[in-house]
Amino acid sequence: MRPLLLVSLVALAVAISAASAHACSCMDPGGHVQRMERAGVVVHGTVLRQRAPLWARLPVHRLPRWVPRWLRRSANATADIQVIQAWKARPHSVVSVNLGSGQCCDCTFGTRAFTVGEEVILFGRVKDGVPRVGASLCNPPLRRSQVDRALVDYGPGTTDLDARPRPIGRWLGRAGVLLVLLWLGRRWFKMGRRQGRAGT
C-alpha cells in the first residue's frame, strides 16, 4: 500500500507543477460611475461572515484544466453579504460571493478579502436570470470613502429584496467531495490488501 500511496502523491505533485501559472494581469476597472454603467447588478451591503474549507491551503487551484472545475473550486473561500440596497437587478437579501483561493496567480483575495461588519459595494452580472456579484483583483469592491462617494452618485437603490433560499447546493457539494474521498480511500485499501496477499 505504501508504494501505491507514494506513486499517487508523486503523480499529484507532477500534475500541479505542470499546470500553467500566469501572473495576474487586469485592466484598470475604471471609476465607480463607469463600473456602474458596465455592471449587470450593483450591490451595497455589509459583510456577515467569511469561510473557507479545511483544504483551502492546498494548491488545488493549480491543478490542470482537465481536472473537474468543481474540484478545483472546492478550495475557494466565500463571503455572505447582507444587502442594504441594489441597483439594476434584484438579488436576494443575502448574497454569497466567491472569493477564490487567494493563492498565487489566480487574481483572487481568498479569506483576506473583507472584515466582518465592513460596508462594501460589489459589482456583478446577471447569468441565467440570477444576479451574481464578485470580488477579485480584477473586480475590486468599493470600500470606506469610495462607498460614500458612490452612494451620492448612484442615488437610492432597491431595498425590497427577497430572502435567500437555503444553500442546499453547498451541502450537496461537500457531500460529493466526501464521497469521492471515501471511494478513493476504499480503493487504496483494497489494492493494498491485494498486494499484501500477493506478497505472501
Of the candidates 126, 134, 140, the one whose C-alpha atom is nearest the C-alpha of residue 28 is 140
Q: Which pLDDT score is estimated for 180? A: 74
H-assigned helices in the chain: 2-18, 32-38, 69-72, 144-154, 168-199
Q: Which pLDDT score is estimated for 173? A: 62
Q: Which pLDDT score is estimated for 97? A: 92
Instruction: Report the 10 Å Cβ neighbour count for 75.
Output: 22
Residue partners of 194: CB distance under 8 A and separation at least 6: none
Dihedral of the CA atoms 87, 122, 100, 117 (nearest 10)?
A: -120
Asked whether 71 and 59 are in contact (CB, 8 A), the reply is: no
- Band the pLDDT of 25: cuts 50, 70, 90: confident
What pLDDT digit, counting tens, does each position of 59-92 carry? 665 666 666 666 666 678 899 999 999 999 999 9
Domain limits, the chain: 13-165, 167-200
The two counts, helices (H) then strands (E), for the chain are: 5, 6
Planar angle of CA 84, 88, 93, nearest 5 degrees: 30
Q: Which pLDDT score is estimated for 200? A: 63
Place of cell 473537474: 68
Q: Does the structural domain 13-165 have CATH classification 3.30.300.30?
A: no
Phi, psi for residue 127 in degrees, rounded to 5: -120, 125
Instruction: Report the 10 Å Cβ neighbour count for 5.
Output: 12
What pLDDT digit, counting tens, does each position of 113-156 carry? 899 999 999 999 998 888 999 899 889 999 989 999 999 999 99
- Band the pLDDT of 51: cuts 50, 70, 90: confident
pLDDT at 33 over 80: yes
- Band the pLDDT of 55: cuts 50, 70, 90: low
User: In the predicted model, what is the mean pLDDT of the chain?
Assistant: 78
pLDDT at 8 over 90: no
63/144 Cα distance (integer angstroms): 36
Average pLDDT value for residue range 192-196: 73
Q: Which pLDDT score is estimated for 81? A: 95
Residue partners of 121: CB distance under 8 A and separation at least 6: 32, 42, 43, 44, 141, 142, 146, 147, 150, 151
